[in-house]
Amino acid sequence: MDGTDSQEVFISNWEYDQAPESQDHIKIDKRYGLFIDGKFEEPKSKKYFQTTDPANGKVLAKVAEASETDVDRAVKAARKAFKKWSGLPAKERGKYIFRIARLIQERARELAVIESLDGGKPIRESRDIDIPLAANHFFYYAGWADKLEYAFPGRKVKPLGVAGQIIPWNFPLLMAAWKLAPALATGNTVVLKPAETTPLTALKLAEIIRDSDLPNGVVNIVTGAGETGASLVRHPDVDKIAFTGSTAVGKFIRKTIAGTSKKLTLELGGKGANIIFEDAALDQAVEGIVNAIFFNQGHVCCAGSRLFVQESVADLVISKLKIRLNSLFVGDPLDKNTDIGAINSKKQLETIRKYIEIGKSEGGQIYQPDCTLPKKGNWCPPTLFLGVSQSHRIVQEEIFGPVLTVQTFRTIDEVIEKANNSPYGLSAGVWTDKGSKIFHLTKKLKAGVVWANTYNKFDATSPFGGYKESGFGREGGLHGLKPYIKFE
């Protein structure tokens, strides 16, 4: 455990311009403990689970499963550290957070490879988006630590205490950064629970945190399954729960903490509408549609999973879209030419396949390019569904995979009505040449984020979050500080 018993993974077929050759070997320990009070420890549960590579089913490591007792140890460590951490001069806190950002940058290549191995996403995405953006979140919130008086003028700001943070498997390190950085900047201490299928980069982050000399107990990382998360939610000495995941678990958490004084933020599911008007730059829009739905295999809460095309250009857009789909490469996540990697888990693959069957049985016309999928592992080709309407389940329910529904519209009012006819309210995209249409739609669409002539653009300075069944509270930017503070 903890570096003593490790295996080397040789990475081939991936170039990284500045990387020294020695870094072609990425070390993954055979067994990982829980990160509590600044060190890796055996779980009191004595239980371990396996995390695998979804591209081939190979076991990558055994990871500790935290029991209720283990979660309690982590919360106690966080509570003990709270007085020291919240009492530090704010600029000192900022320096620690800055150091974590720098260490993520230094280990960026290793983190990118491990993210792709453990979760199945294309290396191009983990290298260019997940890891740099994770570092940026720490840099950004390091800057806020000693400027809270400017963020909230005239108010005396205090941290909440111990934050319990639960994250999903689609952006493992990035979600950890989204949650940890603002909590630390505002003086809270944390117990973080990564997802069961993708714990490895959170454990590498634990090494980084240890190496950053952050005071012991300020960040604790407890791996495990849903029950570990539930123990954290139930724990009486946790002051705040920040959760990103499914709407169903979000509702369960809401019920569990009802009647307690715990604070809560929920980042849940989505069913983003991507709207193309006839005056849009169509080639650019088609690229945008492809990125909006196939980025990270469609395992994206804000994915543009419902396409609405203005009727006059629908045939043209659909034919361009099919041509583009035919050129997407589905395969090895570590190949830098891969566009669509492995589906994160067998369970998620079954869910996607179930929805594809539902789409067909409800009369949708399916289009999938003729691509050769690897024999082992979890794969799904990019999929379009034409001939669907608002009442189809694949239009209403979140699939969380590379499946795009395509509908047409004639007028702006019609498309606003259709786009808003969803239980979710997280994201939308608008493609048009007219600024006036963009401004009109950003007001009318019930979505936490609306992109114009682009999609899936993220930045540490921008708030992100939803309405309706997509949850409440915002992460990112100045807004991301608010869920972690109280005013005196």
DSSP 128: I
CB contact set of 265 (below 8 Å; sequence gap of 6+): 240, 241, 242, 243, 465, 471, 472, 473, 474, 475, 483
Partner whose binding site includes residue 118, from ligand NAP, Mg ion, none (CB under 5 to 8 Å by kind):
Mg ion
Q: Rule CB under 5 A: is residue 335 a binding residue for Mg ion?
A: no
Nearest to 253 by CA among 265, 271, 239: 265
Q: Rule CB under 5 A: is residue 432 a binding residue for Mg ion?
A: no
Q: 215 vs 423, which CB is nearer to ligand NAP? A: 423
Q: Rule CB under 6 A: is residue 173 a binding residue for ligand NAP?
A: no
Among residue numbers 373 through 412, which ones bind ligand NAP (CB under 6 A)?
Answer: 398, 400
Shortest spacing between CB 344 and ligand NAP, in angstroms: 8
Q: Rule CB under 5 A: is residue 118 a binding residue for Mg ion?
A: yes
Amino acid letter, residue 296: N
User: 176: which 2 tokens?
Assistant: 């950890």
Partner whose binding site includes residue 239, from ligand NAP, Mg ion, none (CB under 5 to 8 Å by kind):
none
Q: Rule CB under 6 A: is residue 280 a binding residue for ligand NAP?
A: no
The pairing of beta strand 219-221 with beta strand 59-64:
unpaired
Q: Rule CB under 6 A: is residue 166 a binding residue for ligand NAP?
A: yes
Report whether 385 contacts 361 (CB < 8 A): no
**Which one is catalytic: 267, 398, 469, 475?**
267
User: 328: which 2 tokens?
Assistant: 């997407």
Task: Please count the CA atoms within 13 angstroms of the CA of 463 that sit on its side-chain side.
Answer: 13
Tell which one of 168, 172, 382, 401 touches ligand NAP (CB under 6 A). Answer: 168
CA angle 310, 311, 313 (to 5 degrees): 75
DSSP 1: -
Determine the Cα–Cα distance for residues 174 and 355; give it in Å rounded to an integer: 28
Determine the Cα–Cα distance for residues 253 and 263; give it in Å rounded to an integer: 11
Q: Rule CB under 6 A: is residue 220 a binding residue for ligand NAP?
A: no
For Mg ion (CB under 5 A), the number of binding residues is 3
Partner whose binding site includes residue 273, from ligand NAP, Mg ion, none (CB under 5 to 8 Å by kind):
none
Q: Which stretch binds Mg ion (CB under 5 A): 26-34, 127-135, 137-145, 193-201?
A: 193-201
Determine the Cα–Cα distance for residues 124 and 238; give it in Å rounded to an integer: 37
Partner whose binding site includes residue 145, from ligand NAP, Mg ion, none (CB under 5 to 8 Å by kind):
none
Determine the Cα–Cα distance for residues 391 and 435; give it in Å rounded to an integer: 31
Give the x-and-dash track for 433-462 against ligand NAP (CB under 6 A): ------------------------------
- In this structure, what are the phi and psi dihedrals at residue 360, rounded to the nearest 5 degrees? -70, -45
Nearest to 219 by CA among 96, 335, 315, 102: 96
Query: Is 371 a catalytic site residue?
Result: no
Q: 333 vs 476, which CB is nearer to Mg ion? A: 333
- The string of DSSP codes covering 116-182 is HHHH---HHHIIIIIHHHHHHHHHHHHHHTT-HHHHSTT--EEE-SEEEEE--SSSHHHHHHHHHHH
Question: What is the number of the residue whose Cβ is closest to ligand NAP?
Answer: 229
Q: 387 vs 463, which CB is nearer to ligand NAP? A: 463
Q: Rule CB under 6 A: is residue 174 a binding residue for ligand NAP?
A: no
Tell which one of 37, 196, 332, 335 touches ligand NAP (CB under 6 A). Answer: 196
Q: Rule CB under 6 A: is residue 269 a binding residue for ligand NAP?
A: yes
DSSP 140: H
Matching residue, tokens 């007219």: 434
Q: 198 vs 383, which CB is nearer to ligand NAP? A: 198
Give the x-and-dash track for 227-266 against ligand NAP (CB under 6 A): --xx--x----------xxx--x--xx-------------
CB contact set of 200 (below 8 Å; sequence gap of 6+): 28, 32, 51, 60, 61, 63, 114, 115, 117, 118, 172
Q: Which stretch binds Mg ion (CB under 5 A): 49-57, 331-339, 387-395, 416-424?
A: 49-57
Determine the Cα–Cα distance for residues 369 and 322; give it in Å rounded to an integer: 8
Query: How far apart, in Å, are the Cα atoms of 267 and each of 14, 262, 298, 299, 474?
Result: 34, 16, 17, 14, 8
Shortest spacing between CB 104 and Mg ion, in angstroms: 20
Q: Rule CB under 6 A: is residue 226 a binding residue for ligand NAP?
A: yes
Matching residue, tokens 């998620």: 348
Q: Rule CB under 5 A: is residue 197 a binding residue for Mg ion?
A: yes
Determine the Cα–Cα distance for residues 437 and 388; give it in Å rounded to an integer: 25
Q: 32 vs 308, which CB is nearer to Mg ion? A: 32
Nearest to 180 by CA among 394, 484, 486: 484
Partner whose binding site includes residue 51, from Mg ion, ligand NAP, none (CB under 5 to 8 Å by kind):
Mg ion
Report whether 265 contacts 298 (CB < 8 A): no
Among residue numbers 17 through 46, which ones bind ligand NAP (CB under 6 A)?
Answer: none
Q: Which stretch binds ligand NAP (CB under 6 A): 22-30, 52-60, 191-199, 277-285?
A: 191-199
Query: Is 301 a catalytic site residue?
Result: yes
Show which residues are catalytic: 267, 301
Contacting positions for ligand NAP (CB under 6 A):
166-170, 193, 195-196, 225-226, 229-230, 233, 244-246, 249, 252-253, 267-270, 301, 398, 400, 426, 466, 470-471
Contacting positions for Mg ion (CB under 5 A):
51, 118, 197
